[in-house]
Every structure is written in structure tokens, then in C-alpha cells.
Amino acid sequence: MEKLKYPIGKFTEPASYTQVLRKEFIGILKNAPKRFEDAINSLSVTEKNIPYRDGGWTPIQVIHHVADSHMNSLIRIKLALTEDNPTIKPYDENAWITLSDSNSEIQSSLKILDGVHTRYVQLLESLSEEQFQRTCYHPESKIKMTIDYLIALYAWHSNHHLGHILLVKSR
């Protein structure tokens, strides 16, 4: 069950952040929209509606979730860049996935991913070393997160949910 829930393993924060590691994470974020589109388009209509595990989401819901999550991620980074350690707004991803737009056609969320990630990468590639150290505070996790941490997390998040879609394909 753990392998189905975390197909690439749980997120672990890197011991340190380097320019090489940042470029790797930014590369993952840059390529994520195309990888999601290719993965979802490789599925049949039936497969797109099969949860990746018992109690899990369908690939369609995964795409909508990633669009929701990564929109929030970009906003969190922009807040961290423009405010002094802002407290970010958590949201209930399981509640969001029950809303009608999370079961609609996926093209809108694929377009969101493409646009958000284009802006995400443009912004991240412009940051100075000091800006990667800017922070925001997550009140549920009770942790201060640097922009370095956020890009590592969302690079993992991209691969994590891509893994869920590929699990459906491999069944």
C-alpha cells in the first residue's frame, strides 16, 4: 500500500541546496506540464477514471489537484518574495477534489499547468541566491519554508503525482 501511496517515496528535504540542485528542480518543474499531458493522454477513457489505489484519486482528479496545488505554490513563492515571512493559507485538498471542477475535462487544468509552470520557471530562473532563502510560514505544518524548500517539494510533488498516473497505466 505504501508503494501505491508514495510511488517515488516520501519527500525528503535535501541536506543542502546548490545551484546544480536548484537547476535540477527547476528542470523538473519546466518539463512537468508536458510529462503530465503525455501521461494522461496515454490512458484510455476507462483508465483515466480508475483510482490509482483504493481510496485514491483518478488520473483526472490528480491532474486537477496538481493544477490547484501548483497555482498555490506559485502564489506562496510570490508572497515569500514580496512579504516578510508571510503566513500562507493552507487548503483542504481532499475537499477541493470533491468540487465539480475536479471531475471536469482535463484540458483546462493542463493549460493551467502549462501557464503556471511557464511563469514559475521564469520567476525561479531570475532569483538571486538571497532570494532562494526568503521564507513563508505554514501554520498547519508549523514550519518556516524557504523558496529552496518549496521548489524541492514541488519538484517532488510533480514526480509523485506523475507516478500515480503511471501506476494506472502499468496495471
* Number of domains within the chain: 1
The amino acid that residue 151 corresponds to is: I
Residue whose C-alpha is closest to residue 114's, from 48, 58, 31, 42? 31
Assess if residue 41 is contained within a domain: yes
Number of H helices, E strands in the chain: 7, 2
Assess if residue 2 is contained within a domain: no
Per-residue pLDDT, averaged over 120-133, amounts to 98
Assess if residue 43 is contained within a domain: yes
Per-residue pLDDT, averaged over 8-34, amounts to 97
**Residue ranges of E strands in the chain:** 135-138, 143-146
Residue whose C-alpha is closest to residue 62's, from 123, 8, 20, 103? 103
Continuous segment of H or E residues that includes residue 24: helix 19-41
- Looking up residue 143, the CATH number of its domain turns out to be 1.20.120.450
Contact 61, 105 (CB under 8 A): no
Task: Determine the Cα–Cα distance for residues 72 and 78; give it in Å rounded to an integer.
Answer: 10
Assess if residue 6 is contained within a domain: no
Residue whose C-alpha is closest to residue 145's, from 94, 73, 92? 73
Task: Determine the Cα–Cα distance for residues 60 and 51; give it in Å rounded to an integer.
Answer: 9
- Residue carrying C-alpha cell 521564507: 135
Q: pLDDT-based confidence at 1, cuts 50/70/90?
A: confident
Q: What confidence score (pLDDT) does residue 102 get? A: 87
Convert the pLDDT of each residue in 99-116 to its tens digit: 999 888 899 999 999 999
Domain range for 153 = 27-170
Convert the pLDDT of each residue in 25-54 to its tens digit: 999 999 999 999 999 999 999 999 999 999
